[in-house]
């Protein structure tokens, strides 16, 4: 079998470590990367004979890539360390998956699909805005969305501190039931929610800015009471229970 051809060092680091190309370049410039006994330089190339070191640890040229779909519950953070008393999603995963990097984070109060992988190039293609990976969410608001506001978000966008936010909002009429609340990853937050009319919508967007959906609705005077991601690019939850995970194939 032919051995793999040489590749650029920054691409090698991105794929093996889950870094962006820019982060890989910064690591090289900072002197944290060696090829053999020599500090690496920008533009270097490596192949299967190279011994690449990053922060004192050797990075194998060949690696087995893993891709995990995980249905994140409410109350967990996507970082490796607990934050403010909130546990991390890695607490729910077996040890063999704890070195994987989350692709497309969800905040502590949100639930649903996240992908974890050790394939940095895949992570880059899933998250960089230029690849336009659609994400779909079930969103519950504290009150019905005014038609004018719905049109404003979908057709014109809402100006936030980090620029305009525009995404598709579609009215959704799910059955009010304990099963639905279980899918959203939480219990009803009030008696009115448990027995009254709730405002449910489907949101579809291709961006991934920090808390973008919550901030967009908040700018118009609404509070998101539940947010649950059901699709990320070609991947869907497809019945995966809350807190559960499964290995998936790269699409």
By C-alpha distance, which of 139, 167, 135 is closest to 151? 167
Q: Name the residue with tokens 């506001």.
A: 149
- Long-range pairs of 30-38 with CB within 8 A, sequence gap ≥ 24: 33/9, 35/9
For the annotated catalytic residues, the residue numbers are 107
Round to the nearest angstrom and report the end-to-end CA distance of the chain.
Answer: 25
Q: Are 103 and 66 in contact (CB under 8 A)?
A: no
Q: Are 102 and 115 in contact (CB under 8 A)?
A: yes
């Amino acid at each position: 079998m032919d051995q793999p051809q040489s590749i650029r060092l920054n691409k090698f680091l991105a794929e093996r470590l889950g870094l962006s190309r820019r982060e890989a370049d910064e690591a090289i410039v900072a002197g944290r990367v060696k090829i053999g006994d020599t500090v690496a330089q920008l533009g270097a190339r490596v192949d299967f004979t190279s011994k690449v070191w990053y922060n004192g640890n050797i990075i194998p040229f060949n690696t087995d890539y893993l891709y995990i779909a995980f249905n994140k519950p409410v109350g967990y953070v996507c970082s490796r360390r607990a934050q403010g008393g909130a546990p991390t999603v890695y607490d729910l995963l077996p040890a063999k998956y704890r070195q994987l990097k989350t692709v497309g984070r969800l905040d502590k109060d949100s639930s649903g699909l996240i992908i974890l992988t050790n394939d940095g190039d895949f992570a880059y293609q899933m998250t960089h805005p230029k690849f336009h990976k659609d994400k779909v969410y079930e969103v519950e608001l504290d009150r019905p969305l005014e038609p004018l506001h719905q049109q404003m978000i979908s057709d014109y966008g809402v100006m936030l501190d980090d620029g305009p936010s525009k995404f598709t909002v579609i009215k959704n009429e799910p059955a009010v039931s304990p099963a639905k609340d279980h899918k959203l990853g939480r219990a009803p937050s009030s008696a009115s929610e448990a027995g009254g009319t709730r405002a449910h919508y489907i949101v579809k967007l291709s961006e991934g800015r920090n808390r973008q959906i919550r901030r967009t609705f908040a700018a118009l005077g609404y509070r998101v009471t539940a947010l649950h991601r059901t699709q990320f690019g070609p991947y869907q939850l497809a019945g995966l229970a809350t807190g559960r995970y499964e290995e998936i194939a790269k699409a």
